[in-house]
Amino acid sequence: MAPRTNGVGIRPEETRICVVMVGLPARGKSYIAQKAQRYLKWLSIPAATFNVGNYRRNDAPHPSADFFDTNNAEGERKRRAAAEAAVADMMKWFKSGGVVGILDATNSTKERRKWVLDRINQEGVDVIFVESKCDEEELIMANIRDVKTTSPDYQGQDPEQAALDFRNRIRNYEKVYKTINADGDEDHLTYLKIMNVGRQVIINRIQDYLQSRIVYYLMNLHIRPRSVWLSRHGESMLNLEGRIGGDADLSHRGEEYALKLPELVLESVGSDRPLTVWTSTLKRTIATARHLPKHYNQLQWKALDELDAGVCDGMTYQEIADMYPEDFQARDEDKYNYRYRGGESYRDVVIRLEPIIMELERSEDILIISHQAVIRCIYAYFMQKTQEESPWVPVPLHTLMKLTPRAYGTEVQIYKAEVKAVSTWRGKGSTAKHEDPKPEGGV
53 in contact with ligand F6P (CB under 6 A): yes
49 in contact with ligand ATP (CB under 6 A): no
Contact window for ligand ATP (CB under 6 A) among 27-35, 62-70, 295-303, 331-339: 27-35
**Is-catalytic flag, 104?**
yes
Instruction: Answer yes or no: is 270 a known binding residue.
Output: no
Contact window for ligand F6P (CB under 6 A) among 14-22, 100-108, 261-269, 313-321: 100-108
For residue 68, the minimal CB distance to ligand F6P (Å) is 6
For residue 406, the minimal CB distance to ligand F6P (Å) is 19
Q: Which of residues 81-120 bind ligand ATP (CB under 6 A)?
A: 106
Sequence letter at residue 202: I
Q: Are 41 and 77 in contact (CB under 8 A)?
A: no
Q: Are 258 and 285 in contact (CB under 8 A)?
A: no
* Per-position x/- string for 212-251, each x denoting binding to ligand ATP as judged by CB under 6 A, each - no binding: -----------x----------------------------
Instruction: Answer yes or no: is 232 a known binding residue.
Output: yes
**Is-catalytic flag, 146?**
no
Distances (CA, A) of 16 to 12, 126, 263, 369, 420: 7, 6, 49, 37, 50
Nearer to ligand ATP, 15 or 151 (CB): 151
Nearer to ligand ATP, 32 or 307 (CB): 32
DSSP state letter for 225: -
Contact window for ligand F6P (CB under 6 A) among 11-19, 49-57, 395-403, 415-423: 49-57
53 in contact with ligand ATP (CB under 6 A): yes
Contact window for ligand ATP (CB under 6 A) among 18-26, 79-87, 199-207, 234-242: 18-26
Question: Measured between alpha carbons, how far is 329 from 104 in angstroms, rounded to an integer?
Answer: 43
C-alpha dihedral, 248 to 252 to 254 to 259, nearest 10°? 130
For residue 191, the minimal CB distance to ligand ATP (Å) is 15
29 in contact with ligand ATP (CB under 6 A): yes
Question: Which listed residue (49, 132, 181, 211) binds ligand ATP by CB under 6 A?
Answer: 132
**Is-catalytic flag, 295?**
no
- Residue 386, SS3 per DSSP: coil
Sign of the dihedral defined by the CA atoms of residues 306, 311, 316, 320, in that order? negative
E-assigned strand segments in 134-255 = 191-195, 200-204, 228-232
Q: Which of residues 101-120 bind ligand F6P (CB under 6 A)?
A: 105-108
For residue 201, the minimal CB distance to ligand ATP (Å) is 10
Instruction: Answer yes or no: is 233 a known binding residue.
Output: yes
Residue 43: is it exposed, middle or buried by C-beta count within 10 angstroms (0-12/13-18/19+)?
buried
Distances (CA, A) of 390 to 36, 127, 145, 380: 19, 32, 34, 6
Contacting residues for 396 by C-beta, under 8 A, at least 6 apart: 232, 421, 423, 425, 437, 443
Q: Which of residues 74-93 bind ligand F6P (CB under 6 A)?
A: 79, 83
Comparing CA positions, the residue from 343, 240, 346 lying closest to residue 284 is 240
For residue 319, the minimal CB distance to ligand ATP (Å) is 49
* Per-position x/- string for 136-175, each x denoting binding to ligand ATP as judged by CB under 6 A, each - no binding: ---x---x--xx----------------------------
- Residue 114, SS3 per DSSP: helix
Question: Measured between alpha carbons, how far is 149 from 16 in angstroms, rounded to an integer?
Answer: 35
Contacting residues for 13 by C-beta, under 8 A, at least 6 apart: none
Which residue has the closest beta carbon to ligand F6P? Answer: 53
Comparing CA positions, the residue from 252, 254, 248 lying closest to residue 233 is 254
- Composition of the chain by helix, strand, coil, percent to 5: 45, 15, 40
23 in contact with ligand ATP (CB under 6 A): yes
Where along the sequence are the contacts to ligand ATP (CB under 6 A)? 23, 25-32, 53, 106, 132, 134, 139, 143, 146-147, 194, 197, 223, 407
Where along the sequence are the contacts to ligand F6P (CB under 6 A)? 25, 52-53, 56, 79, 83, 105-108, 169
Residues designated catalytic: 104, 233, 306
